[in-house]
Structure 1
């Protein structure tokens, strides 16, 4: 694969840039398409007008329901994602030109990924699922109730995080600022009704072969007799509604939520069909966790968050408890690591502690967004993300830990889990 791409360099047609060429040679065990995907997520995407006109809303999946905003701060119906020619899924973050993103342009009537003078790859927009054309009985477009990832139904029941209420929001997050735009411009409901969710899932499942799992994610809600009781109750309500579409008690599902206590987690597992649990720790360093995630630090704490991750393994099983980190955020200044080698060593050491206990660790590439507190910073180098992806992948191999609901088939947003394709 790589050698064919390199042979095209003299013609400047579908050839990698000098930086990609250097890293391809330095890390021959790292697939080119996963490397390219990682760099696209690292730098962002800019769609030219010609490329946008090629996006057909009757066919293609357009953005609109995502819980987070974009790097350019604009909320509009642009393509949600595209595929590279090997089938690699790339969720995109539209980015201003002055930040040097990759460009999707129309070249010879083909959608083409461009970097400077290099035409890298022909790409293809995602096709939208059938349920996007439907409305619920209450009149809400179903694409505002759920969206689609490669093979999963993606539902965001509550688009508000209560950490923002007392200014304890994660410094890299823009969920509430993005929500305000969605409510104003898209008439997006803040909190979903379980009946609408049940009806949308039922319609989505009519498209045979399209979906293999369901994922729920929302902002945190610390309200209740015990912290996060109300969040737990709401998820139980939503999951029970979804479960009406299945004949078995358990169904392929993932919950991305807060790190609940043992009583809350027990209720979730026993009363619903949930199979996989993902409390995202965001950053693997206690000092930086306290700075970057003040709400999580205040209401749970770093050591307790890790403990709750490990305590969930006997309930769900090895590989069915996951956590995600916002990779590169550990280098944010002024308090983050100043050296990438030091940062990488810290992350992988902390990750091994979790992975050896049966907790999967995956990463998303930090995309600094203007609606967040530290949205004016830059993320890490491409080589850093390559080394981190290889490190996490090798730890999963070392401890025999398989990925399921956060893998490339269902999610497609974690470059390290894309490496599972080569196992």
Structure 2
């Protein structure tokens, strides 16, 4: 279980146990989750003997790639800790220093350099994964599951990358799409409305399993106005989902481009959508222009931010949020030079949004091989603990709910894991 560390994509100056000692009031399991997300996992051969494809959810179609640049679908999708915390994580090369998942008797545990830390469980596969639509498409290619959420990826191509100005520098959506196409040749480029409606109907037969839907995909720039076609695609998908409900609205989240008020009102009035997310990615105008050049050129930082604020008038306070790739604000050479400076700037801008009814969530930055930032180094565990704590405190201060994107429904945001403390 020991390894020789030859290359890292994360700051390893602070250990997990040092973080536990430094922040005794921060939940230990959430700190562990953050560190596992930073470093990734390696499954031993022994661990894989406990993986049952008939019972467990294996890796499935996605829109973002893995740390090892491999498309492997016989590995577990993700992990659960003993308190129900989800760890959305992917495999990492052993030489990068990931956590190791190994078998002890008939149970799975996380190890770090030979030390056994915590027991983990595998996600259970939903029943609809073994079904196909009437057109013959496997339903697990139409929708994917989190423990309590149904994900539908509208598309796996971002048109910002089709322009000379380029897509977000940390993102590998286009490269991974090409990889997946070679393996999942029967996956539709864009799921059809009838297949979506049938898949959702089948998924909802598993009573009590799912509590919400999440739709996302790459940006589509086409239309009479920027993003009009993307909006129309999402309306079609949401209406297909809505066929399975007798109420006008149903619990749902859309993670999409920065739509204007006319487009947002269409979504609100024509579908059952209840919450809206549009990712700024980094809360700093100067860095936004460097890291997200396509977004900066076609919309701009301040307009993207203002569209989020205007969305609050439509969806309501606490039903609009923005995601950031936590830590990318420290990317070299143009990022902040110190973690303290980066944290202060990020939380200040997050408070500007919180005052206006928009909440901010963060993911843990993974410098993926298929991205422009492949050789960057993500910040320390200490930084992520302070970032998660700071974003959580802002939601408490301004009375903002995060029910639609919390620890039960998503599980990818350490700061929303803290919502269970309220």
The TM-score range, normalised by the shorter chain, is over 0.9
Residue 206 of structure 1 pairs with residue 205 of structure 2: yes
Distance 1:333 1:19 in 2: 23
Aligned to 2:196: 197
| Whole-angstrom CA distance in 2 between matches of 1:417 and 1:234 | 29
* Cα separation, 1, equivalents of 2:193 and 2:372: 33
CA distance in 1: counterparts of 2:16 and 2:328, whole angstroms? 23
Question: Does the 8 Å contact 2:110/2:119 carry over to 1?
Answer: yes
How far off its partner does 1:224 sit? 0.7
From 59, 70, 76, the equivalent of 1:74 is 70
Q: Which residue of 2 is the match for residue 369 of structure 1?
A: 368
Say yes or no: does 1:54 pair with 2:50.
yes
Paired with 1:334 and 1:25, the residues of 2 have a C-alpha distance of 32
Matched, 1:96 2:89: no
Instruction: Count residues in correspondence.
Output: 407
Structure 2 match to 1:379: 378
Q: Which residue of 2 aligns with 1:293?
A: 292
Residues 183 and 190 in structure 1, CA contact (< 8 A), matched pair in contact too? no
The aligned residue for residue 327 of structure 2 is 328
CA drift at 1:402: 1.2
Residue 170 of structure 1 deviates from its aligned partner by: 0.6
CA shift, 1:355, in A, is: 0.9
Alignment-derived partner of residue 37 in structure 1: 33
Q: Report the CA distance between 1:422 and its aligned residue.
A: 1.1
Cα deviation 1:153-181 (Å, max 9, x = unaligned): 01102111111111411111111111111
Cα distance, 1:64 vs structure 2 = 1.8
Alignment correspondent of 2:24: 28
Q: Secondary structure at the match of 1:113?
A: strand
Normalising by structure 2, report the TM-score.
Answer: 0.95
Aligned-partner SS, 2:403: coil
Q: Aligned residue for 1:255?
A: 254
Q: Distance in 2 between matches of 1:76 and 1:53?
A: 16
* Aligned-CA RMSD value: 1.2
Answer yes or no: is the 8 Å Cα contact 1:158–1:191 preserved in 2: yes
How big is the shift at 1:57?
A: 1.0
Deviation, 1:21, is 2.3
Deviation at 1:306, TM superposition (A): 0.6
For the Cα contact (< 8 Å) 2:16–2:381, is it kept in 1? no
1:110 to 99, 107, 121: 107
- 2:265 aligns to what? 266
Partner of 1:174: 172
Gaps spanning 5+ residues in structure 1: where? 1-17
108-117 vs 200-209, which moves further: 108-117
Q: CA deviation at 1:398?
A: 0.7
Q: Is the 8 A contact 1:324 1:362 kept in 2?
A: yes
Q: Secondary structure at the match of 1:405?
A: helix
Q: Which residue of 2 aligns with 1:242?
A: 241
Residue by residue over 1:183-237, the C-alpha shift from the partner in whole angstroms, topping out at 9 and shown as x without a partner, is 1102222211111111111100000000010110000001011110100111111
Q: Does 1:132 align with 2:129?
A: yes
Q: How far, CA to CA, are the matches of 2:324 and 2:412 in structure 1?
A: 12
Q: Does 1:146 align with 2:143?
A: yes
CA deviation profile, 1:72-95 (whole Å, cap 9, x unmatched): 011111111111111111111211
Residue aligning to 1:9: none
CA-CA distance at 1:288 after TM superposition: 0.7
CA contact (8 A) 1:149 1:410 kept: yes
* SS of the residue 1:277 aligns to: strand
* Secondary structure, counterpart of 1:370 in structure 2: coil
Contact 1:309 1:359 (8 Å CA) reproduced: yes
CA contact (8 A) 2:285 2:301 kept: yes
Provide the residue aligned with 2:339 in structure 1: 340
**Counterpart contact for 1:155–1:217, Cα < 8 Å:** yes
| Correspondence for 1:10 | none
Give the 3-state SS of the residue equivalent to 2:405 in structure 1. Answer: coil
Matches of 2:192 and 2:117, distance apart in 1: 44
Aligned counterpart in structure 1 of residue 162 of structure 2, from 161, 165, 172 = 165
5+ residue gaps, structure 2, are 1-13
Cα pair 1:64 1:186 within 8 Å, conserved? no
| CA distance in 1: counterparts of 2:53 and 2:254, whole angstroms | 29
The separation in 2 between residues aligned to 1:66 and 1:164, in whole angstroms, is 18
- Kept in 2, the 8 Å contact 1:183–1:189? The answer is no
CA distance in 2, matches of 1:300, 1:351: 19
Give the superposition deviation at 1:20: 2.2
Q: CA deviation at 1:26?
A: 1.4
Q: Does structure 2 conserve the Cα–Cα contact (< 8 Å) formed by 1:179 and 1:190?
A: no
